[in-house]
């Protein structure tokens, strides 16, 4: 058994910055995206009814299926924010810190960003968290979730239109690099 190492880069954006994209104009579309995503989780569970992991995913995203259409924008943002949970505690050699159900959460946010948000942003690569500056790099925030956007979509020798939109949203468009270790 060995260790796999891979290098990555992207534009890291704080969760509150992305949540600000949700407003009264797109609230209903965001709620529809949440319902659609939950329906996908339920369908996956029906395909594999004995899979505890899929049952956990369905349970985790269930609150998003119960959002009333009269919910305030602030409450909607809070509900979505609560689905972004960081698991693990950062330490010198931590390889276990991660965002709970990161892939499914990324799928949800891709749906929201593509279908409900008018601003065209770069491709959302993942929603991630890191646990060790020593292993993952010194530029990544430890123990905090970040939206990772594709840095190639942001630059064309100069900041692209999509990159400018992300820079306006996040206040920066700095490329961050990190390393993943798996054991």
> For residue 84, what are the domain limits?
4-182
Mean pLDDT calculated for residue range 21-38:
96
pLDDT score, position 161: 92
Can you say how many angstroms the Cα of residue 110 is from the centroid of all Cα atoms in its chain? 8
pLDDT band at 7 (very low <50, low <70, confident <90, very high): confident
pLDDT band at 29 (very low <50, low <70, confident <90, very high): very high
The answer on pLDDT for 134 being more than 70 is: no
Please say whether the beta carbons of 99 and 87 come within 8 A.
Answer: yes
pLDDT band at 71 (very low <50, low <70, confident <90, very high): very high
Count of domains observed in the chain:
1
pLDDT band at 14 (very low <50, low <70, confident <90, very high): very high
Q: At what angle do helices 102-115 and 27-47 cross, to 10 degrees?
A: 140
- Three-class SS string for the chain? CCCEEEEEEEEEEEHHHHHCCCCCCCHHHHHHHHHHHHHHHHHHHHHCCCCHHHHHHHHHHHHHHHCCCCCCHHHHHHHHHHCCCEECCCCCCCCCCEECCHHHHHHHHHHHHHHCCCCCCCCEEEEECECCHHHHCCCCCECCCEEEECHHHCECCCECHHHHHHHHHHCCCCEEEEEEEEC
């Amino acid at each position: 058994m060995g260790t796999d190492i891979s290098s990555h880069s992207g534009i890291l954006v704080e969760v509150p910055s992305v949540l600000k994209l949700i407003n009264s104009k797109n609230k209903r579309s965001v709620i529809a995206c949440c319902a659609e995503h939950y329906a996908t989780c339920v369908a996956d569970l029906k395909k594999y009814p004995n899979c505890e992991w899929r049952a956990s995913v369905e349970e985790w995203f269930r609150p998003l299926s119960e959002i009333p259409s009269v919910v305030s924008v602030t409450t909607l943002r809070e509900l979505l924010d609560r689905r972004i949970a960081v698991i693990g505690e950062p330490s010198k050699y931590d390889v276990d810190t991660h965002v709970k159900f990161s892939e499914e959460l990324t799928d949800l946010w891709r749906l929201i960003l593509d279908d409900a948000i008018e601003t065209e942003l770069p491709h959302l690569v993942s929603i991630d968290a890191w646990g060790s500056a020593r292993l993952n790099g010194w530029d990544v925030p430890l123990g905090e979730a970040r939206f990772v956007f594709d840095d190639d979509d942001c630059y064309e020798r100069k900041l692209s239109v999509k990159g400018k939109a992300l820079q306006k949203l996040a206040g920066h468009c700095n490329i961050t690099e990190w390393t993943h270790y798996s054991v």
